[in-house]
């Protein structure tokens, strides 16, 4: 431990009322990860959002900083200011007992000695890191990395103690918005907030706010009905009311998330942003209709001014009470910005699903396209050949001298079905995976990683999760009932190395026009951080290979059709440039994808020398006629095999073409070897 804040004080480690007992170690690890992520980006650039970067997710550090801000006479505004204030004050205190760590951490974040006033940090994160290493008496870069990771972890523990002590010494009572007890009153002015009874100003709930809903103080239909009071009247008379989500045109659909996260007893925030009014509602039930508007479940328990209208989601509220900005920040984090009318609190990063694995290779396939134009025989239809899909893959492996027992993991990157998905086509896909598992000695469904493809969701217009029913049924049928997180990271513990695979849903942008552009998005940052930390933790001891599996290719690619003189461009990921930076920063060695229906292998090299293999599997099931009329001059199927060589610390990737003739090739169609740093 780096030292205890206030050496003459008696404190108990991690007695943070916002953290359940027994979770203190987990909290420290999360804050340490947040600190690392903030250092990599640079403290002044945490909120940068552009084509290349998304805001840094640091929810646990953010909440700790917001809690510390409440103990200050002048509370800093915004998460960057709050985090800077917390780090600066804590480093000043740490410098009294551990000046070495305090100086190192202060150099990494601010480039200043502990105790100096911090205004604006003008140096980049890279410059600060280089100067910190120059000042620190450790010539080895690897050893310096270990030292600073240990220092950040210890500092995270110190921060929890520091804020806990500050909260005990200086508990503030945040102001609360007006009482809702007088249901006949109009929405009170801000001046009335100060008159709210002092006994109700203190809040003691440690539960996070699951979501924050924005609302208008008056009915958007301009009936002059006051939103909170009209709902409170019904609660006072009947014990509960129904509140509608007034989904705006710019909002994406959150139906599945609403069902999953708000479907049982929880608390949500209600925020009138322009008026700066805050309320907390107790939600015990939600009703949605797969993204389509629906009438109130109980019109008599809905305010009259909109009880006969239809909305995308309805919330059953048992109570609505006044709250405050301080409580929102404490329980939700930084107040949200932007246009959305519903904002979600960050969820704890789910632990990877861990499986023991054998062999040394990963089989990569994609675009099986079960349905009318599938190439091989399936359980539901005869096809144009007597060979089943899984038999064709196994034959191809064998004729190219690949030991079936070497395959320890299989990645399938989407487009299991044709353009119009059907339950029968997904049943064929499930039967195929079962058949493949029977023939590969070390493969079970738990060793198969799947991602959705552009045609696995009903089209057009199915860009959100509300109507992805068939794919999600397929996912649960493969992994088991209740295992419905389609982006849960999977970790495979081989005999001599560890493989982390993150399945990504890149199918987010297709709309009524059926654009084929993909989107990686910022929702995977916390999982990428887990991969990054795992790589650093085992670097030099155990070989860790991080892989991302998605449907879409990264960069837009021209596709020349057989009957076209000019190629058409298949768009890749909308946020490709941002992703390239994140792949190298988080030490991802493999990016696996489909979509192109053409096998390919190439590498991406970052400024610091890190290399990522990008592997397109091609198609393992589309018929030659369908390929000829829709995509490529080449009408063969293809697969890729990626071998992990721990003795040489290298990855070897090979792709093979095959058709009904099953002729061995003199060499792979594409191949590449990459040494892992």
| 3 state SS for 136-160 | CCCCCHHHHHHHHHHHHHHHHHHHH
- Whether the CB-CB separation of 217 and 228 falls below 8 Å is answered with yes
**Cα–Cα dist 216/214, whole Å:** 7
User: Residue 176: what pLDDT?
Assistant: 42
Across the range 583-591, mean pLDDT stands at 94
Q: Say if residue 92 is exposed, middle or buried (CB neighbours under 10 Å; 0-12, 13-18, 19+).
A: middle
Q: What is the mean pLDDT of residues 590-597?
A: 93
Burial of residue 90 (number of CB atoms within 10 Å: 0-12, 13-18, 19+): buried
pLDDT at 541: 86
Percent of the chain with pLDDT over 70: 81
Taking alpha carbons only, the member of 389, 367, 359, 393 closest to residue 376 is 389
User: Distance between CA 88 and CA 77 in Å, rounded?
Assistant: 15
Q: Please state, in angstroms and rounded to a whole number, the distance separating the CA atoms of residues 528 and 487.
A: 12
Q: Which of 109, 104, 101, 75 is nearest to 158 (CA)?
A: 101
3-state SS assignment for residue 127:
helix
CA nearest neighbour of 490 among 414, 549, 443, 533? 549
Would you state the pLDDT for residue 15? 29
Instruction: State yes or no: pLDDT of 285 exceeds 50.
Output: yes
In this model, does residue 609 exceed pLDDT 70? yes
CA 491: distance to chain centroid? 16
Per-residue pLDDT tens digits for 57-69: 888 898 888 888 8
Residue 509, pLDDT score: 57
Q: Supply the pLDDT for residue 50.
A: 63
**Phi, psi at residue 92, to the nearest 5°?**
-60, -45
pLDDT at 491 over 50: yes
Task: Establish whether domains 205-344 and 353-675 are of one fold.
Answer: no
First to last CA, the chain: 31
DSSP states along 478-508: HH-TT---TT--EEEE-SSEEEEEEE-----
What's the rounded Cα separation, in Å, for the pair 158 and 153? 9
Residue 358 clears pLDDT 70, i.e. is over it: yes
Distance of CA 579 to CAs 309, 430, 588, 606, Å?
Answer: 42, 31, 11, 12
Q: How many CB atoms lie within 10 A of CB 567?
A: 11
**pLDDT reading at 613 higher than 90:** yes
Distance CA 507, CA 517 (A): 8
Quick check: 412 pLDDT over 90?
A: yes
Of residues 49 and 578, more confidence is placed in 578
The mean per-residue pLDDT over the stretch 601-609 comes to 88
The mean pLDDT value for 362-370 works out to 96
497 pLDDT more than 60: yes
Domain coordinates in residue numbering, the chain: 24-169, 205-344, 353-675
- Residue of higher predicted confidence among 11 and 246: 246
| Mean pLDDT rounded to a whole number for the chain | 81
Considering the entire predicted model, what is its pTM? 0.58
Q: What pLDDT digit, counting tens, does each position of 368-382 carry?
A: 999 888 999 887 665
Q: Residue 563's pLDDT is what?
A: 54
Provide the token pair at 542.
């155990």
State the average pLDDT over residues 400-417.
96
464 — pLDDT class (breaks 50, 70, 90): very low
- 220-224, 272-276, 405-409, 601-605: least confident range: 220-224
- Tell me whether residue 109 is exposed, middle or buried, using C-beta atoms within 10 angstroms of its C-beta: 0 to 12, 13 to 18, 19 or more: buried
What's the CATH code, domain 205-344? 2.30.130
Q: Is the pLDDT of residue 19 over 60?
A: no
The answer on pLDDT for 517 being more than 60 is yes
519 or 474, higher pLDDT:
474
Query: What pLDDT sits at residue 586?
Result: 92
At residue 275, φ and ψ (nearest 5 deg) are: -85, -10
> What is the per-residue pLDDT across 186-231, written as a single tens digit (0 to 9) for each?
433 332 222 223 233 333 344 778 899 998 887 655 555 678 999 9
On the question of pLDDT at 567 being above 90, the answer is no
Third-level CATH fold of 353-675: Purple Acid Phosphatase; chain A, domain 2 (3.60.21)
In the block, which residue shows the tokens 């930076």? 581
pLDDT of residue 512: 39
Q: What pLDDT score does 642 carry?
A: 97
344 pLDDT higher than 70? yes
Q: What pLDDT, on the 0 to 100 scale, is given for residue 200?
A: 34
Statement: residue 507 has pLDDT above 80? yes
pLDDT band at 280 (very low <50, low <70, confident <90, very high): very high
pLDDT of residue 556: 78
Rounded Cα–Cα distance for residues 368 and 383 (Å): 13
User: What percent of the chain has a predicted confidence (pLDDT) above 90?
Assistant: 39
Contact 502, 548 (CB under 8 A): yes
Least confident of 92-106, 147-161, 500-514: 500-514
pLDDT of 349 reads 74
Beta bridge partners of 548: 502, 591
């Amino acid at each position: 431990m780096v030292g205890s804040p206030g050496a003459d004080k008696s404190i108990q480690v991690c007695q943070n009322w916002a953290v359940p007992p027994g979770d203190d170690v987990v909290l420290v690890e999360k804050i340490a990860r947040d600190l690392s992520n903030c250092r990599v980006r640079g403290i002044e650039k945490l909120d940068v959002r552009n084509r290349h970067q998304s805001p840094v997710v640091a929810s646990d550090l953010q909440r700790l900083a917001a809690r510390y801000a409440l103990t200050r006479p002048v509370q800093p505004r915004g998460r960057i200011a709050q985090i800077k204030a917390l780090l600066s004050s804590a480093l000043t205190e740490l410098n009294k007992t551990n000046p070495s760590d305090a100086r190192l951490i202060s150099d990494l974040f601010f480039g200043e000695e502990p105790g100096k006033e911090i205004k604006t940090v003008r140096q980049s994160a890279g410059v600060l890191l280089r100067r910190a290493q120059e000042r620190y008496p450790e010539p080895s870069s690897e050893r310096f990395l270990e030292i600073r990771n240990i220092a950040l972890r210890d500092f995270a523990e110190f921060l929890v103690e520091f804020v806990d002590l500050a909260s005990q010494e200086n508990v503030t009572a945040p102001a609360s918005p007006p009482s809702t007890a007088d249901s006949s009153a109009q929405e009170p002015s801000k001046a009335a907030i100060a008159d709210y009874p002092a006994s109700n100003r203190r809040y003691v709930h440690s539960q996070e706010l699951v979501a924050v809903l924005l609302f208008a103080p008056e009915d958007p239909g301009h009936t002059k009905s006051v939103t909170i009071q009209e709902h409170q009247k019904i609660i006072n008379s009947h014990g509960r009311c129904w509140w509608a989500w007034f989904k705006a045109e710019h909002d994406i659909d959150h139906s599945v998330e609403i069902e999953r996260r708000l479907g049982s007893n929880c608390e949500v925030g209600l925020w009138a942003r322009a008026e700066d009014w805050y309320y907390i509602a107790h939600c015990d039930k939600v009703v949605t209709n797969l993204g389509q508007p629906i009438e109130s479940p109980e019109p008599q328990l809905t305010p009259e001014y909109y009880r006969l209208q239809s909305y995308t989601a309805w919330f059953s509220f048992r109570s609505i009470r006044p709250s405050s900005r301080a409580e929102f920040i404490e329980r939700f984090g930084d107040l949200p910005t932007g246009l959305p009318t519903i904002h979600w609190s960050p969820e704890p990063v789910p632990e990877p699903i861990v499986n023991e694995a054998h062999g040394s290779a990963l089989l990569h396939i994609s675009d099986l396209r079960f349905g009318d134009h599938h190439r091989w025989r399936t359980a539901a239809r005869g096809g144009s050949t007597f060979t089943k899909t899984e038999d064709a893959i196994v034959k191809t492996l064998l004729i190219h001298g690949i030991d079936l027992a070497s395959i320890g993991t299989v990645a399938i990157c989407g487009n299991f079905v044709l353009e119009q998905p059907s339950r029968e086509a997904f049943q064929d896909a499930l039967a195929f995976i079962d058949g493949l598992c029977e023939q590969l000695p070390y493969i079970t469904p738990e060793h198969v990683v799947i991602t959705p493809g552009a045609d696995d969701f009903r089209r057009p217009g199915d860009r959100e999760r509300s109507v992805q029913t068939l794919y999600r049924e397929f996912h649960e049928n493969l992994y088991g009932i209740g295992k419905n997180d389609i982006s849960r990271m999977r970790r495979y513990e081989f005999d001599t190395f560890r493989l982390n695979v993150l399945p990504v849903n890149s199918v987010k942008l297709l709309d009524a026009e059926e654009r084929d552009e993909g989107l990686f998005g910022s929702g995977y940052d916390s999982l990428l951080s887990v991969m990054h930390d795992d790589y650093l933790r085992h670097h030099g001891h155990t070989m860790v290979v991080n892989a991302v599996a998605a449907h879409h290719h990264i960069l837009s690619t021209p596709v020349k059709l057989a009957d076209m003189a000019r190629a058409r461009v298949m768009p890749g990921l909308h946020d490709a440039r941002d992703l390239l930076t994140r792949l190298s920063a988080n030490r991802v060695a493999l990016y696996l994808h489909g979509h192109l229906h053409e096998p390919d292998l190439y590498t991406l090299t970052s400024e610091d020398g890190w290399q990522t293999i990008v592997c397109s599997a091609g198609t393992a099931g589309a018929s030659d006629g369908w390929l000829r009329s829709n995509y490529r001059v080449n009408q063969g199927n293809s697969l890729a095999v990626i071998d992990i060589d721990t003795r040489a610390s290298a990855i070897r990737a090979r792709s093979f073409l095959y058709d009904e003739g099953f002729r061995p090739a003199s060499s792979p169609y594409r191949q590449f070897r990459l040494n892992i740093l």
